[in-house]
Amino acid sequence: MNHLVENEKRAVSTIKSNPKFFYSYAKRLANSKSSVAPLKNKEGILTINAAEKAELLQAQYVNVLSNPADADMELCKSQVTETKNAELSNFAFTQEDIKKAIKEMDPHSAAPDGDIPCSEFY
């Protein structure tokens, strides 16, 4: 135990002159290992099984990413043109429209920059 205390004092005393030594010492003593927290499956049940968590993460990955080669470019171009020609005054959304749209969102998808709340609150 004395050896540990001596090493700790040495690391602290050299933090200004040799910060690399201090951080490598602290890293060696760190006990926390990063891992994936329990995940909910489609039934809403938490799982800690590594294989099942891997499958859930893979399914999420496939769900949120698309293959650009599969895109219908003509449809995309027409939608971009329609969007460019649209004016904000052409759209009318009620509170119910927004609630309905939020409920239709996948609760397991990543939130956009605006942090849309989970549909379970509506």
- Rounded to 5 degrees, φ, ψ at 88 are -60, -30
The pLDDT tens digits of the residues spanning 57-84 come to 888 887 777 677 777 778 777 776 666 6
Q: 111: number of CA atoms within 13 Å, CB side?
A: 8
> Is residue 73 helix, strand or coil?
helix
Q: What is the pLDDT of residues 102-111, one digit of tens each?
A: 888 777 776 6
pTM of the predicted model as reported, rounded to 2 decimal places: 0.33
